[in-house]
Amino acid sequence: AQSVTQPDIHITVSEGASLELRCNYSYGATPYLFWYVQSPGQGLQLLLKYFSGDTLVQGIKGFEAEFKRSQSSFNLRKPSVHWSDAAEYFCAVGPLNRDDKIIFGKGTRLHILP
């Protein structure tokens, strides 16, 4: 069955520290992969997406993610977090055909220590 796992429900890092949020997926083939961010009371904003090609993807707000086929992972990274990065982050796998739907992980809430 298709699924997305974000193993960490909460993560706390200090401002200025590096960040890595984990995402693992189970899919019949290499899916399309997304990371979204949701600030409190807001909708989801697309950070970055991977369709094919270079496995290191650059996104907005200084985020990047690396697709590792052998590990079925698509981890999100940022070298130095800012207090404004505190939010909930969702990994998602996109459908390979029109009849399927996008599947979201449960999310990882990021807390930033001053």
Partner 1 sequence: KAGVTQTPRYLIKTRGQQVTLSCSPISGHRSVSWYQQTPGQGLQFLFEYFSETQRNKGNFPGRFSGRQFSNSRSEMNVSTLELGDSALYLCASSLGEGAGTDTQYFGPGTRLTVL
**59 interacts with partner 1 by CB under 8 A:** no
Q: Shortest gap between Cβ of 71 and partner 1 (angstroms)?
A: 20
Residue 86 CB, nearest approach to partner 1 (Å): 17
The verdict on 17 binding partner 1 (CB under 8 A) reads no
Which residues, 6+ apart, have CB-to-CB distance to 108 below 8 Å?
6, 8, 9, 10, 11, 21, 22, 88, 89
Q: Does 8 bind partner 1 (CB under 8 A)?
A: no
Beta-carbon contacts of residue 71 (< 8 Å; ≥ 6 apart): 24
60 forms part of the interface with partner 1 (CB under 8 A): no
- Stated as kind and residue range, the H or E segment containing 90 is strand 87-94
- In sequence order, the β-bridge partners of residue 13 are 112
Binding interface with partner 1 (CB under 8 A): 31-32, 34, 36, 41-46, 49, 51, 90, 93-102, 104-107
